Amino acid sequence: MAFGSIRKRCGLTPDNVLMCHIKTRFALMLTMTLALSTIAYVYFSLKPVMHHHTKFNVVNHTQSYTEGLSDKNFVWKIMQTPRALKKLTASISTKPISVLQYVAHPSNYHFIMDEPDKCKQSPFLVLMVPVAPNEVAARNAIRSTWGNESTVQGKAVITLFLVGLTGGSDSEKAQQQLEEESRQHRDLLQSNFVDSYFNLTIKTMVIMDWLATRCPQATFSMKVDSDMFLNLENLMTLLLAPNTPRQNYITGFLMWDRPVNRNKKSKYYVSEELYPEPKYPTYVMGIGYVFSNDLPKKIVEASKDLKPFNMEDAFVGVCLKRLGIKPSRAPDPSQFRTFMKDSKSHDLSKVITTIARSPKQIIEFWQNVTKISP
């Protein structure tokens, strides 16, 4: 703008015209900023609202990845697992289909540590133990007791541990320790989901996927928790019985007519949106159940069309119901136990499974049954 025009417009002397020039430009910039803000507000107000299922999934997925992790480690973990990042960003969608349906499906995850050749010798029984990454004592207790059995009643048995991603401020160091443990024992599997209570359904489905893709030739498999004592002699006697089916078979501690927990303050809470029925179908308690090895592939397939929820054993029961398969009552249900007071007041020689309160008690139970002195 020419000096004469500014002076005429502002009525200023040449000494003060520069200040007027600055004020004029500031007014123009302020006007443009307000105009752009108005356009942005109208644009975003008219955008479609994210589907409520999808929105819940983004929050849930992000929360699961940040649980137990600092912001720095969360970013580090995502960078270390590009597929997880892809899945997370893919879940931000306005498509009408609910991404929640696919979060727990194992195709969303991949193995960071794997033992794909473990089943080359066609084991009769595969024991899959879901365990937290930091529970080294539990893994070692199992390795020194029932997990050390490779042949029972002439049948080959293998034991594998499944962990998710490590968390905490020292996650990188913990991961290195896991990798060293894997090199030493060759019995660790790790998938790229965050290891937490609310991801147990993911953990179980990843187990099923490993059995279906890496070990379809096994006859039976068992999902057994890391705090369990397992009497393999009694289990093998059950599996070798002539009346034990080798297809569509699953047994353990059966749960009948269990109501769905609708208390939002409970960790067992399941919303009506995820599972609308008031009761679960009959399912097998997740502490330890054995099944014919044709089921993993079928369960994974059935899960594709179901909304997952955090009660992993009940979710497996829902998958079985969809398949038209009912869990079988064990010939002697008392063999699948929950807690036992101690190894002296109960006859451990007759049980198949029971909960131990610590890795030390697993060893004590094992010594009691095998008559090995401490």
pLDDT higher than 90, residue 207: yes
User: What confidence score (pLDDT) does residue 95 get?
Assistant: 33
pLDDT for residue 301: 95
Q: How many helices (H) and strands (E) does the chain have?
A: 13, 11
Q: Is the dihedral of CA 27, 31, 34, 40 positive or negative?
A: negative
pLDDT digits (tens, 9 = 90+) for 113-162: 999 999 999 999 999 999 999 999 999 999 999 999 999 999 999 999 99
Cα gap 365→348, rounded to integer Å: 7
CA distance 343 to 174: 34
The structure tokens 């497996």 sit at 316
89, 268, 280, 239: CA torsion to nearest 10: 90
pLDDT digits (tens, 9 = 90+) for 256-282: 999 999 999 999 999 999 999 999 999
Among the ranges given (4-8, 81-85, 326-330), the one the predictor scored with the smallest mean pLDDT = 81-85
Question: Cα(309)–Cα(68) distance, rounded to whole angstroms?
Answer: 20
Per-chain mean pLDDT for the chain: 79
pLDDT in the model for residue 347: 78
At 221, which amino acid appears? S
Beta bridge partners of residue 155, listed in sequence order: 152
pLDDT confidence of residue 55 = 28
Give me the pLDDT at residue 97, please. Answer: 31
Instruction: Quote the pLDDT of residue 370.
Output: 87
In the chain, the N- to C-terminal Cα span, in Å, equals 97
According to the model, what pLDDT value does residue 5 have?
46
**Highest-confidence segment of 62-71, 214-223, 340-349:** 214-223
Looking at the DSSP assignment, which residues form a beta bridge with residue 111? Answer: 191
Give the residue-averaged pLDDT of 340-352: 74
**What does the pLDDT look like over 174-202, one tens digit per residue?**
999 999 999 999 999 999 999 998 899 99
pLDDT value of residue 106: 75
User: Looking at residue 107, what is its pLDDT?
Assistant: 77
Q: Are 125 and 157 in contact (CB under 8 A)?
A: yes
pLDDT on residue 171? 86
Parallel, antiparallel, or unpaired for β 155-165 and 188-194? parallel
Token pair in block for residue 236:
């093998």
For residue 30, name the pLDDT band (cuts at 50, 70, 90).
Answer: low
The pLDDT-based confidence of 94 (bands split at 50, 70, 90) is very low
Closest CA to 291 of 202, 191, 207: 207
- The position carrying tokens 């015209």 is 17
Q: How far apart are CA 104 and CA 343, in angstroms?
A: 38
pLDDT for the residue numbered 224:
98
Quote the pLDDT of residue 206: 96
**How many other C-beta atoms lie within 10 A of the C-beta of residue 99?**
22
CB 241 within 8 A of CB 282: no
DSSP-assigned beta bridge partners for residue 165: 194
Q: Among candidates 219, 79, 221, 226, which has minimal Cα distance to 162?
A: 226
> In this predicted model, what pLDDT tens digit does every residue of 44-61 receive, in sequence order?
444 433 333 332 233 333
Res 298: pLDDT: 98
Q: What is the pLDDT of residues 287-309, one digit of tens each?
A: 999 999 999 999 999 999 899 99
Structure tokens at 94: 């306005």
**Residue 49: its pLDDT value, please?**
35
| Amino acid 253: pLDDT | 97
Q: List, in order, residues 6 or more apart from 351 with CB less than 8 Å away.
A: 229, 231, 234, 334, 335, 336, 337, 340
